[in-house]
Structure 1
Amino acid sequence: MVSKNFYFQTIGRVVFITATSLMLAFLLVRENYVFSVLTLIALVLQAFYLIKYVNETNRKIAYFFDAIKNEDFTLRFPEKLTLKSLEELNHSLNMLNEMIQKIHLKNQTQERFYQEILKQADIGILAINNKGHILFANPRLEHMLNYTPLNHIKQLSQIDENLYRIFSELKPFERRMFQLTNEREKIDLAIKSSSFNLDGQELLLVVIQDIHQELDEKETESWTKLIRVLTHEIMNSITPITSISDSILKYYQKGDSTPEDGSEYQKRFNNTIKGLEVIKDQGANLMSFVQSYRSFLNVPVPDKKIVLAQSLLEKVKLLVSQNPEFSNTSIELQIATPSLELFIDEKQITQVLINLCKNALQSLSNQENSSIKLIAGIDPAGEKYIEVEDNGPGIPHELINEIFVPFFTTKNSGTGVGLSLSKQILRMHGGNLKVKSIPEKNTTFTLFF
């Protein structure tokens, strides 16, 4: 409709200009100079208004597109004019402006929606161009790598040289595995890449996932199967030996007649009894050892209830303080919020905390001003936790990855079941047990719920 009006208006004006030009020619031929001058003035005015009309339309359209280019959607043209064609043009431009504004707002909303999804994703995501510049890195990735802001892959060399080498050599549709140990924790990273084209630029999209917990669960499952087989076979083998040795020992001890003192037979008799006692004791110790690992296999399903963190830690402190071994060690409680609640099996978590406190005490045996801190709070990710921190000598770097492995122990009388059982209990709660240690400074075990 607008183009029709514009077309008719322009044609009409051109027709009038043509007619005026013919009239001017006619008057000049007749040498009627007075009317010729008037007609010439009329012709100039018609040409002027035609140019003004066309330029006004062009200026409006140019102004409109400049506003769109600058994302200025506040532009409004007046819709009540004398000229019908300009009125319709203004109305159409206003309608188009509103449509583009709606599309723009819709695109912005979608963009914010997708950005929020990427921010909240539990995996690390980053986009890299062919020069190594990081165009996008979500907060989960920065938290995983404990580094922010990430602008170029060269920054990864400050985290780990091997990690930087992987990224610098990474090709589209490759998969890599990498174990990263930072000051907070050890994480196993699964790295997967793909490529996409954006505005003619080839970009590398990298997805990074921490699969440490999955590997941990798989390892625990493997240990569980192994321990189940071992305990079954050992118990089947040792039970008859212990039983028979005990029966023979009772037979000798309750015998009606004993050999004469000093005889060779008497010596053999005494050695036999001692040997049977050794077999009985070692068999009983071995059965006790196996029974301790059966507890690892038979962790009951937690009976979860809401428990105040403060009352839980006060209870643990009271139980631990009654042990004379803790008399020279200060125990401090730090609770972020007195009303902090945990949904746990109180009995099981208490057992875990007492075990960790005992381990801490053993590491503090030669430590002056020894102290243990029990800390409860909520981390930035919204995860509730309890920390057991001691100011002992720390755990050697080469051992820190082994302490949760069943059968592993640094104690002469230990079975290596305590920490692995504690971790299993936390897994049954849907949480995790982690450790960080700074040599000659402190060791912290953290229970995540």
Structure 2
Amino acid sequence: MASRNFYFQLILRVLLITLTAIFLSVSVVKEWYFSLALAVIMLIAQTYSLISFINSTNRKIAYFFDAIRNEDFTLRFPERVTIKSFKELNQSLNRVNGLIQEVHLQLQVREQYYQEILKQASIGILTFNDKGHILYANPTLEKLLNYTPLNHIKQLAQIDEKLYAIFKNFQPFERKMIQLTNEREQIHLALKSTPITFDNQSLLLVVVQDIHKELDEKETDSWIRLIRVLTHEIMNTITPITSISESILKYYQTPAGLVLPEQLDENKLSSTAKGLEVIKNQGSDLMDFVQSYRSLLSVPKPDRELVKAKKLFEKVQVLMQLDASAETEITWQFEPEDLELFIDEKQLTQVLINLVKNGLHSLEHTKGGKLMVTAYTDKKGTKTIEVKDNGPGIPPDILEDIFIPFFTTKEKGTGIGLSLSKQIMHLHGGNLKVFSRPNVETSFVLSFYGKL
């Protein structure tokens, strides 16, 4: 409505100027000098009035947008004016100003709400730009690092040079772990980065979490499960030794004392020899068990180099030819063709052989068994190898136990293959995870997070 009245007044003023110009022309032709002077004065006055009329509206709108840009919502336009179009325009501008002020207040309340959440969060949160300037660091992060205020990532070098090196070279979607030591305590921090864009500026959001408590709980739980497995294995070996030793001892000892040589018969001597042979075998098994434990603890540091996935797969294929069953379909895939992995070739060959053997073993009684070994780069840019089969799978109740040293479900298994494989992956700066849906799909995923 205000816009319509504005146009009516504008058209009326233009018509008056046009009529005045016509009157001026007639006065010139007729040589009406008095009328000519009057027409000139009227034309000047009407032109000035038109310009003022348009400029007054433009100035109001310009003031309005300047006030909005400066977040000044105190500007009010007078609504008691004689010109109806101006009155309606002022009312509209005041109404829009009120709505924008209401939205602005709501945004401020919401921003304060989010700020409070970030302040009270139990994890550290930090954002910085490509020049290293820290735009935001919540109190939890400053408390974790025992440093305030944080303005630039170079300040992290004063806390720990390794911490600064991580932030300096942090890439999007990377995960890092670091241990910090100060005069008060020792803390383990897990760091995860995520790229974000704010106000047309590329930033890196880093979440920092103290996982010392979680590590302690996990370590305790791991020790309990390891001791349970070790106790089971040792007791299985020692129990027959104790039982046979007691039986043999009865042949040579009575309540009255030792048995005389002439009281021994051939059956007792034969049983003694057999019993000692069993004790010897059990002792050898126990020695092998301890030796396997020693081998698990002495995995050498990886001698890493860039190896093409294709070359690695071809090597494992050759080594697995004798184990492969004609009834099981094995597929080897890698994408892209020239995919390279920064690995110790010998150690990763050992890991893949172990995983493929486990897969083939699980498919022994599966009709139409399929085993697929795939190398690729996932959506986060992590280079990955996946060994997947459609066998019976792993029961949920033992899924968490399969990486415990010496835990095995095989009759002739040692129980160190998967735990050794996981340790090798950790030494490579990666991880080994398992996912299983019984009788549908079981996959072991090797993830290489970077050149650590």
TM-score normalised by L of structure 2? 0.51
Matches within 5 A, 1:218-297: 218-228=218-228
Instruction: Give the drift of 1:29.
Output: 1.6
Instruction: Give the drift of 1:111.
Output: 1.6
The amino acid of 2:134's aligned partner reads I
Distance 1:201 1:155 in 2: 22
Instruction: Give the drift of 1:227.
Output: 4.3
Instruction: Give the drift of 1:10.
Output: 0.7
Gaps of 5+ in 2: 258-452
Secondary structure, counterpart of 1:109 in structure 2: helix
Q: Report whether the alignment pairs 1:208 with 2:212.
A: no
Secondary structure, counterpart of 2:206 in structure 1: strand
Secondary structure, counterpart of 2:100 in structure 1: helix
Secondary structure, counterpart of 1:87 in structure 2: helix
Partner of 2:95: 95
Instruction: Give the drift of 1:41.
Output: 1.9
Instruction: Give the drift of 1:233.
Output: 8.1
Instruction: Give the drift of 1:17.
Output: 0.8
Partner of 1:184: 184
Secondary structure, counterpart of 1:142 in structure 2: helix
Instruction: Give the drift of 1:224.
Output: 2.3
Distance 1:15 1:230 in 2: 104
Give deviations 1:337-382, integer Å, cap 9, x for gaps: xxxxxxxxxxxxxxxxxxxxxxxxxxxxxxxxxxxxxxxxxxxxxx
Distance 1:107 1:223 in 2: 51
Partner of 2:69: 69
Give deviations 1:315-346, integer Å, cap 9, x for gaps: xxxxxxxxxxxxxxxxxxxxxxxxxxxxxxxx
Instruction: Give the drift of 1:255.
Output: 8.8
Partner of 2:199: 199
Partner of 2:324: none
Q: Report whether the alignment pairs 1:122 with 2:122.
A: yes
Matches within 5 A, 1:312-351: none
Please say which of residues 219-228 and 154-163 is displaced more in the overlay.
219-228
Instruction: Give the drift of 1:28.
Output: 2.3
Q: Report whether the alignment pairs 1:141 with 2:130.
A: no
Partner of 2:60: 60
Distance 1:72 1:30 in 2: 58
Secondary structure, counterpart of 1:75 in structure 2: coil
Secondary structure, counterpart of 1:94 in structure 2: helix
Distance 2:77 2:201 in 1: 39
Secondary structure, counterpart of 2:223 in structure 1: helix
Secondary structure, counterpart of 1:53 in structure 2: helix
**Cα–Cα, structure 1 residues 127 and 81, in superposed 2: closer, same or farther, change >3 Å?**
same
Distance 2:235 2:175 in 1: 44
Secondary structure, counterpart of 1:204 in structure 2: strand
Distance 1:160 1:119 in 2: 24
Q: Report whether the alignment pairs 1:152 with 2:152.
A: yes
Secondary structure, counterpart of 1:178 in structure 2: strand
Instruction: Give the drift of 1:194.
Output: 1.4
Distance 1:157 1:54 in 2: 62
Partner of 2:104: 104
Distance 1:68 1:92 in 2: 15
Give deviations 1:41-83, integer Å, cap 9, x for gaps: 2222211211111111111111111111111001111111100
Secondary structure, counterpart of 2:63 in structure 1: helix
Distance 2:201 2:119 in 1: 23
Partner of 2:83: 83
Please say which of residues 26-35 and 158-167 is displaced more in the overlay.
26-35
Distance 1:67 1:234 in 2: 82
Query: Percent identity among equivalent residues?
Result: 62
Distance 1:93 1:218 in 2: 63
Partner of 1:375: none
Distance 1:229 1:68 in 2: 71
Partner of 1:172: 172
Instruction: Give the drift of 1:35.
Output: 2.3
**Cα–Cα, structure 1 residues 211 and 24, in superposed 2: closer, same or farther, change >3 Å?**
same
Distance 2:5 2:55 in 1: 16
TM-score normalised by L of structure 1? 0.51
* Runs of 4+ that moved beyond 6 A: 230-238
The amino acid of 2:179's aligned partner reads Q
Secondary structure, counterpart of 2:179 in structure 1: strand
Distance 1:64 1:70 in 2: 10
Distance 1:230 1:164 in 2: 42
Partner of 2:27: 27
Distance 1:197 1:148 in 2: 25
Gaps of 5+ in 1: 257-449
The amino acid of 1:104's aligned partner reads H
The count of corresponding residues between Structure 1 and Structure 2 is: 250
Instruction: Give the drift of 1:2.
Output: 1.7
Distance 1:3 1:73 in 2: 23
Distance 1:234 1:54 in 2: 98
Give deviations 1:217-269, integer Å, cap 9, x for gaps: 0111122234456677889969x89xx9xxx9xx99x999xxxxxxxxxxxxx
Secondary structure, counterpart of 1:192 in structure 2: strand
Please say which of residues 26-35 and 125-134 is displaced more in the overlay.
26-35
